[in-house]
Amino acid sequence: MLAITWIGHSSFLVQIAGQNLLLDPVWGDRASPISWLGPRRWTPPGIPFDALPPIDGVILSHDHYDHLDQPTVRRLVKRFPGAQWRAPLGVGQWLRRRGVSQVREADWWDQTDLGPLQLTATPAQHFSGRRLDNRNGTLWCGWVIRSGGHTVFFAGDTGAHPVFPEIGQRQGPFDAVLMPIGAYDPEWFMGPVHIDPERAVASFQALSASAADATMVAMHWGTFQLTDEPMDEPPKRAIAAWANAGLPPHRLWIPSHGETRRWPLHTH
């Protein structure tokens, strides 16, 4: 069975092949290095931290504050010391300094196992850095999570890029594609690094046959006010773009915080 629960922003609980994984977990109140300044959470996490099941793995896309939250990392290390962490190149040192003992880094297209799962880091179009003096000192990526029966593509934090067809060809087909739809306005500034809803749908389609039966799961919206668009605009535009593309309505999932969707077990 595959079950995906949206915690908020790009944070998910993915339950697959008996493993409980967290993607880009953020339980902090602000996406900021300062506890009293910066984008504040609009909506509480969809799963209270104390209600989490035992966590087997934590998968990170990059080191920005709205995806890698130091207070959350410390809480996870304390509660789940045996969890396996996976991160793009350069992020492991930061994690080890905060008590993470089991972490593997990956370059684009690198494969690594996590229990019965096979993970593949995929290209994304973004940037990294937690300070002005370490811009792009670490890598950013998406991830493909594969078990014997299901495959999930977590696109990470990304702008639209030309590698989506190759990701689909090499790694598909997918049951679920976790695709960002928010933090895009003003487009002239955010467009290279964040996908707007229309480009999100086009990027999903660019996965080609790998997305033929996949569900697009909308993320990276509705949790932190990072950019200028209204908080409720991304899903409206995503629904319109999906309809304009002629795609089946039931294959677009815009989850509510804390909502879970399950896929029946099958083999591709």
The span from the CA of 55 to the CA of 15, in Å, is 10
Closest CA to 224 of 6, 7, 9: 9
In angstroms, the Cα distances linking 146 to 152, 190, 195 are: 6, 31, 24
The span from the CA of 187 to the CA of 190, in Å, is 5
Per domain, the residue ranges of the chain are 2-261
The CATH number of 2-261, from 3.40.50.1100, 3.90.1150.10, 3.60.15.10, 3.10.129.10, is 3.60.15.10
> Tokens for 179?
């695709």
In eight-state DSSP terms, residue 24 is S
pLDDT 10s per residue in the chain (268 long)? 899 999 998 999 999 999 999 999 999 877 655 554 567 777 889 999 999 999 999 999 988 788 899 999 999 999 999 999 999 999 999 999 999 999 999 999 999 999 999 999 999 887 677 655 666 678 989 999 999 889 999 999 888 899 999 999 999 999 999 999 986 667 765 666 779 899 999 999 999 766 678 999 999 888 877 667 777 889 999 999 999 999 999 999 999 999 999 997 343 3
Helix (H) or strand (E) holding 93: helix 92-97
Give the model confidence (pLDDT) of 231-240 as tens digits: 788 999 999 9
> Tokens for 74?
């410390």
Give the model confidence (pLDDT) of 203-226 as tens digits: 999 997 666 789 999 998 888 776
Q: Using CA atoms of 123, 220, 237, 241 in order, give the dihedral in degrees to the nearest 10.
A: 30
Residues in contact with 170: Cβ distance below 8 Å, sequence separation at least 6, in sequence order: 109
Could you give phi then psi for residue 85, rounded to 5 degrees? -110, 145
Largest interatomic CA distance in the chain: 48
- The alpha helices in 102-228, defined as continuous H runs, are 164-171, 187-190, 197-206
The span from the CA of 128 to the CA of 230, in Å, is 25
Bridge-partner residues for 6, per DSSP? 12
